[in-house]
Amino acid sequence: MSTRLETRPPATRRARKKPAAKKAVAKKRVAKKRAPKKRVAKKQAVGRSAAKRAPKKRVAKATVARTTTTKKPSARKATARKPPARKATARNAQRGQTPDRINRGQTRQSVRPKRRASARPPSPSMADWLRRAGSWRPQRTPKLPATAVGERLGWSITILVIGLTLFGLVMVLSATSVSSVHQFDKSPFYTFSRQLRYAVIGAAAFIAGSRFNYRRIKPLAIPAGILSAVLLVAVLIPGVGSSANGSSRWLALGPVVIQPAELAKLSLILMVARILGSRETQMHLPERTIRPVIALVVMYSALLILQPKLGTPIIMGTVAVLMLFVAKAHTPHLLGWSLAGLFGATALAYSAPYRRARVFAFLDPWATADGIGLQTVQSQIGIASGGLFGRGLGGSRAKWGFLPEAQTDFIFAVVAEELGAIGALGLVLAFGLLGYLGFTAALRAPDAFGRNLAAGLTIWIVTQATLNIGMALGLMPITGEPLPFVSAGGSSLVTTLFASGLLVGVARRGRA
In a domain, 444, yes or no: yes
Q: Is 421 exposed, middle or buried (0-12, 13-18, 19+ CB in 10 A)?
A: middle
In a domain, 89, yes or no: no
In a domain, 93, yes or no: no
- Between 124 and 90, where is the model more confident? 124
Do the Cβ atoms of 168 and 486 come closer than 8 Å?
yes
In a domain, 301, yes or no: yes
pLDDT above 70 as % of the chain = 71
In a domain, 116, yes or no: no
pLDDT of residue 460: 95
Q: What DSSP string runs through 245-263? A: TTEEEEEEETTEEE-HHHH
H-helix segments, 103-144? 108-111, 126-134
Number of separate domains in the chain: 1
Mean pLDDT of 112-122: 57
Count the Cβ atoms, other than its own, within 10 Å of residue 210: 22
Confidence of residue 38 (pLDDT cuts 50, 70, 90): very low
Mean pLDDT of 389-409: 85
pLDDT of residue 167: 95
Confidence of residue 117 (pLDDT cuts 50, 70, 90): low
**How many helices (H) and strands (E) in the chain?**
21, 3
Confidence of residue 66 (pLDDT cuts 50, 70, 90): very low
pLDDT of residue 367: 82
Continuous segment of H or E residues that includes residue 241: strand 241-244
pLDDT of residue 254: 72
In a domain, 181, yes or no: yes
Residue numbers of the domain that contains 443: 146-508
In a domain, 58, yes or no: no
In a domain, 32, yes or no: no
34 has a pLDDT exceeding 60: yes
H-helix segments, 279-330? 290-305, 311-326
CA distance 107 to 118: 26
Q: Which amino acid is at 497?
A: L
Over residues 204-261, the pLDDT tens digits come to 999 999 988 888 899 999 999 999 999 998 888 877 777 666 566 778 777 778 888 9
Cα–Cα distances in angstroms (integers) from residue 292 to residues 138, 239, 274, 286, 297, in the given order: 50, 33, 11, 9, 9
Averaged confidence pLDDT in the chain: 78
pLDDT of residue 282: 84
pLDDT of residue 272: 94
Over residues 251-296, the pLDDT tens digits come to 877 777 888 899 999 999 999 999 998 888 888 888 888 899 999 9
